[in-house]
Amino acid sequence: MRCTFLLTPLLLIKTLYAQNDSSFTLSRAIEYTLQHSNPIINAQIDYEIYKHKVHEFQSIGLPQINAGAAGQYFIDVPTSLLPNFIEGPVYGILFQNGLVGSIPPPNNSRFPVQFGTKYVLNGSIDASQLIFDGQFFVGLQAQRSVLALNGKNVERTKIESIVTVSKAYYGSLLAQKQLALLNSNITRLKKIFDDTKALYENGFVEKLDLDRITVAYNNLLIEQEKVSRMVNISLMALKFQMGMDVNLPIVLSDSIKEDSFESILQNGPFNPQSRVEFQMVQSQIQLHKLDKKRNTFGYLPSVVAFGSYGYQALGDTFNFFKEPSFGFVNGTYQKINRWFPTTFVGLKLNIPIFDGLQKNYRWQQAHLNMKKSENDLNNLTNAINLEVNNSKILLNNASSTLKNQKSNMELAESVYNTARIKYEQGVGSSLELINAQTDLKTAQTNYLSAIYDATIAKLDYQKSIGLIKP
């Protein structure tokens, strides 16, 4: 018993936690979407990829250091042909010493000589540093601008996901509300059906009246099954848009209700710059300007510093890694080196003179692309203003329709209540009651649809004027 008392609160807490974990308000659904939606995640990955591309481009301006080693074994040492510079001086000395009677004429022949050793090893560390390159420094600015453009693309993807999930959320609420109203109508008509059946069994109404109500009741049951399936489909679509496993449970804790939809309408002028799409095209124009600047700076010289530090080993036997030997060099007993250093530094200046007008043509392309983007910006401005005006009109229309549908629903409820009372008192027909019930259901459905349309119109208007932010 004691164990049971301990487990019961734990199970209750676990159940409540599971319910809370699957319960989503619209704000929580949006928060979940921003963290799990695949389009948003991919846009953020693209942003991170380009961030690394920017770092990759920046690394061009950092020192470039490389190390290398190479070894060669000459099976045949390279041979060179040298002029015969020995025969003339030798004969001259012999003639001076009386050893020969005359000096022969010059000999233009050549003799082969092998220079070098069988083994050659070398290793070095090479470094270079970009000192000045106009195209590189302009490219740095362009890379940062492209990174900012990718950041705007992430923001746009988030806004689109927020709008999509909000519409899916409201669509699911509408389906659930329609199902609830349908259940209420079924309950209401079930009571009338039971009462009519009892009256028929006692001979107070005709079978025709019972049949009419039976048909209406069965139609509601069929519609209930269809709407119930639509509720499941709408919830699965919502979970898909949120980036949630469609097999996981979800409960919508918000409700779709009438609101003051016209209160958000702006009467003053609208600034298109509040839209992220406008900012993205502005960034495109800035990139084309930087591209023009980059090609202009391409006519400036570039300067690169470089240097190398290394060692080289030469010999006819492979003993370069043994202990150093000692011997006489120029009459002095000393250590004989096998490795010899090689060190140098330098500066390279590259001056563009003529490239076949390649940079000029690239500049012209960038200029024309900038003109296209400016035209796109003008067209986008008109499109945004058109979208704002259309969404404002649609919101006004939806708000007016909502008021009319609310009045129709209230009138249909009054007509139904009157028809029900007349039928219960035996002064009204079943046909009149069924028609009133059908009109009420239609009016309720139209009212809910009007609330949904007004809510979506409000959402579209908020998006058009740039009020929706991630």
Task: Give the CATH number of the domain where residue 238 resides.
Answer: 1.20.1600.10
- H or E element, residue 306: strand 302-315
Print the domain residue range for 199: 21-61+133-300+357-464
In the structure, what pLDDT confidence band is assigned to residue 6 with cuts at 50, 70 and 90? very low
Q: Which residues lie closer than 8 Å to 271 by C-beta, 6 or more apart?
A: none
Q: Which residues lie closer than 8 Å to 451 by C-beta, 6 or more apart?
A: 174, 256, 257, 258, 402
Distance CA 361, CA 8 (A): 79
252 in a domain, yes or no?
A: yes
- pLDDT of 185 over the 60 cut: yes
DSSP letter at 264? G
Who wins on pLDDT, 314 or 245?
A: 245
Check residue 339 and give left, alpha or beta (phi > 0: left; psi -120 to 50: alpha): beta
- pLDDT of 230 over the 80 cut: yes
441 in a domain, yes or no?
A: yes
State residue 204's pLDDT score.
79
214 in a domain, yes or no?
A: yes
Residue-wise pLDDT for 186-208, tens only, equals: 998 898 889 888 888 888 788 88
The percentage of the chain sitting over the pLDDT mark of 90, rounded to a whole number, equals: 64
Using DSSP, state whether 164 is helix, strand or coil.
helix
Read off the pLDDT of each residue in 363-377 and give the average, rounded to a whole number: 95
Neighbours of 435 (CB within 10 A): 16
* Tally of domains in the chain: 1
In the structure, what pLDDT confidence band is assigned to residue 113 with cuts at 50, 70 and 90? confident
Read off the pLDDT of each residue in 353-361 and give the average, rounded to a whole number: 92
Question: Across all residues in the chain, what is the average pLDDT?
Answer: 87
Which of 133, 137, 138 lies closest to 286, judged by CA? Answer: 138
State residue 331's pLDDT score.
62
213 in a domain, yes or no?
A: yes
State residue 20's pLDDT score.
57
- pLDDT of 222 over the 90 cut: yes
Which of 174, 172, 222, 182 lies closest to 442, judged by CA? Answer: 182
In the structure, what pLDDT confidence band is assigned to residue 45 with cuts at 50, 70 and 90? very high
196 in a domain, yes or no?
A: yes
115 in a domain, yes or no?
A: no
Q: Sign (positive/negative) of CA torsion 153, 159, 162, 167?
A: negative
Read off the pLDDT of each residue in 91-120 and give the average, rounded to a whole number: 72
218 in a domain, yes or no?
A: yes
Query: Any idea which of 77-81, 98-102, 266-270 has the lowest mean pLDDT?
Result: 98-102
* Alpha-carbon separation of residue 189 from 183, 196, 269, 396, 428 (angstroms): 10, 10, 53, 36, 16
CB crowding 258-285: b at 16 or more within 10 Å, else e: eeebeeeeeeeebebeebbbbbbbbbbb
Q: What is the largest CA-CA distance in the chain?
A: 167
In the structure, what pLDDT confidence band is assigned to residue 85 with cuts at 50, 70 and 90? low
Distance CA 457, CA 465 (A): 13
Read off the pLDDT of each residue in 307-323 and give the average, rounded to a whole number: 83
456 in a domain, yes or no?
A: yes
Distance CA 465, CA 278 (A): 12
- pLDDT of 86 over the 80 cut: no
- pLDDT of 18 over the 60 cut: no
In the structure, what pLDDT confidence band is assigned to residue 115 with cuts at 50, 70 and 90? confident
Who wins on pLDDT, 445 or 19?
A: 445
